[in-house]
Homo-oligomer: A and B are copies of this chain.
Amino acid sequence: MSNAKVSPPLRNEVEPCCPPLAERPLTAEEAERTAKMFKALGDPVRLRLFSAVASHEGGEACVCDISDVGVSQPTVSHHLKKLKEAGLLSSERRGTWVYYRVEPAVLAAMGQLLTRAAAV
């Protein structure tokens, strides 16, 4: 791929992402958008990686600290990228190491999406 220079609006403004599941039937695009986040957490390895980052102090962790999930290093990097694309994690390079941290706003949105569905 030769789009190394491309830098589109990749920022996921996820606050208005999705209405509660029990409010009304989701439209096709709402479902498309929301399903991406659930799908990101729908893999055991990704879920472990995410949990490892979320449970680390400060809500952030170096890749080297969480790479012990039973898969190869490229696979870990691949899954972290997926989580980042889903808007659940953000990454920052500090010297030699890369740190990932959770996005609490997105998590809260997903949580309310479910709890409000249960409340009704």
Contact = CB atoms under 8 A, between A and B. Distances in A.
Interface in A46-84: 46-48, 50-52, 54-55, 59, 66, 69-70
A6 interface: no
A94 interface: no
Contacts of A112: 111, 115
Contact of A115 (B41, B45, B55, B111): B111
Contacts of A21: 47, 50-51, 54-55
Interface footprint category on A: 35 or more
A12 to B, nearest CB: 15
Given A21-B55, A54-B22, A48 B28 contact: yes
Contact of A48 (B22, B26, B46, B105): B26
Interface of A: 21-28, 31-32, 34-36, 38-48, 50-52, 54-55, 59, 66, 69-70, 102, 104-105, 107-108, 110-115, 117-118, 120
